[in-house]
Chain A
Amino acid sequence: MSNMLTLAQISATEVREEIIHAFEAGQEVWVELALFGIDISITKAVVNLWIGAVVTFLIMFVGSRLLKDRPGAYQVIVEEVYGFGRNSLGGQMGEEGRKFFPYTLTLFVFLLVLNLAGLIPNAYPVTASITFTLFLALLTFVITQYVGISRNGFGGYVTAFVPPGLPLKVVFVPFMFAIEWISELSKPLTLAMRLYANMLAGHLLIFIFLSFILYFGTFMAVVSVPMAIVLYGFEIFVAVLQAYIFAILTQVYIEIALYRKEH
């Protein structure tokens, strides 16, 4: 009881530090490593990333090794995930786009596992890190540009950014070209920011509601705990939704680049 009373006397600065600490913990170096002077230390975030990757792989791998002619529940789930990737992610604009679904489906499952794993207390939410999301978004961007150029040809791909039939070509062609390219370049940024901000905001909200207990006193638990639980449930929903959005947008961006000339 006396402990709780001391907790109730924490200051606003201290509360903020408590919350921030959860994210600072991600930078906690467990094994210090460097490659050509670049820091590649194994931090808590990296370990969480690995755990997420291993879990992702195991979920899928175990499912792929238990295949029977009469499927059990687990096999049905794995097959449904595969079917979801093949039919719902792939082929947004045409059959040719379907061949990229292994990438987007892997991305989806990986992000889903990481999003959900980040909700486990004391785990570090890797997807609430801009470095992580930006890397995947840039990877998508690189694939997008590569696919677009290799299918439509460099000239064809670049000029396809300008819509045909513009009036006053001298002015509008460069203008539209610039606008379209700004839009194209903003895609990876928005992709990265969307996932990062959603995951970070969700975690911060839970922390903030729980920190009311620290700031206002133990009686706030009556409000804070139910709210935290509700938000937690909501976060599970957001975790699935954001993983899906990231994956489907990646697929759509790739297919837009693929069919750039036709659209």
Chain B
Amino acid sequence: MLDPTGIFDLIKTSLLFWEFITFAILLFLITRYVYPPIRDQIQKRQAEIEGAIDEAQKTREEARELLAEYRRQIEEARGEGRRILEDARKQADAQRERTKKEAREEGDKIVQRARDEIGREREGAIRDVRREVAGMVIQASEQVLGRTVDHDEHERLVAQALDDLEAEVAAGSTGNGSRTA
């Protein structure tokens, strides 16, 4: 025998034979029943992960767009608010001004009306007083003279006298501040 100890194990037909059978079966079983499910699983997961990444990317894109949109809307709303406030302020100012003006005008008008009224009253009163005074003076003069006087002439004289008196009174009232009836 070439190798009596077996340490070099030169060509052992039994090992060779069974190795061939065993390895062939093992190779068949593993390539048939082991690799395909693992491959499918890996491919499935790969597809899932890719899908998830795509999904995430899409979602992020959408979120970014949404955020930009919201930012824009907020900016718009802020601008709008500012504008509204500005308008309101302007309107309020204008309103105030207008109200003030109207009030002033109204007041002026009332004052004017009152003044006119007073003036009219005053003139009426003066006219009455004059007429009264003239009448009284004429009456008194008639009684004193015992005859009728020329009414028209007399009235003119009285009016002149009264005008003089009035002028005097006016001068006096501005002079010492007290007014005598």
Binding site for B on A (CB under 8 A): 20, 23-24, 26-27, 33, 35, 38-43, 45-46, 49-50, 53, 56-57, 60-61, 63-65, 67, 69, 78-79, 82-83, 102-103, 105-106, 109-110, 126, 128-132, 134-136, 139, 200
Contact = CB atoms under 8 A, between A and B. Distances in A.
Interface of A is mostly: helix
Nearest to B30: A106
Contacts of A200: 7
Contacts of A40: 13-14, 17-18
B109 to A, nearest CB: 90
A51 B154 CA distance: 165
Contact of A131 (B7, B15, B33, B39): B15
Given A67-B37, A132-B19, A135-B16, A26 B45 contact: no
B33 A102 contact: no
A60 B34 contact: yes
Interface stretch (B20-28, B94-102, B171-179): B20-28
A64 B15 contact: no
Contacts of A109: 30
Contacts of A134: 11
A64 B17 contact: no
Nearest to B5: A20
B70 interface: no
A56 B19 contact: no
Contact of A67 (B15, B19, B33, B38): B38
B34 A61 contact: yes
Interface of B: 5-20, 22-23, 25-27, 29-31, 33-35, 37-39, 41-42, 44-45, 48
Given A69-B48, A102-B31, A102-B35, A57 B26 contact: yes
Contact of A63 (B14, B18, B19, B34): B34
Nearest to B24: A139
A49 B37 contact: no
With most chain A CB atoms within 10 A of its CB, the pick from B11, B17, B26, B45 is B26
Nearest to A85: B35
B31 A26 contact: no
Contact of B12 (A27, A50, A136): A27
Contacts of B30: 56-57, 60-61, 102, 106, 109
B15 A45 contact: yes
Contacts of B18: 40, 42, 46, 49-50
A61 B38 CA distance: 10
A103 B32 CA distance: 12
B41 A130 contact: no
Contacts of A126: 15
A27 B34 contact: no
Contacts of A79: 38, 41-42
Nearest to B35: A102
Nearest to B25: A53
Given A23-B7, A24-B5, A131-B10, A82 B15 contact: no
Contacts of A106: 26-27, 30-31
Nearest to A32: B14
B8 A130 contact: yes
B6 A64 contact: no
Contacts of A39: 13-14
Nearest to B9: A129
Given A69-B48, A102-B30, A136 B23 contact: yes
A17 to B, nearest CB: 9
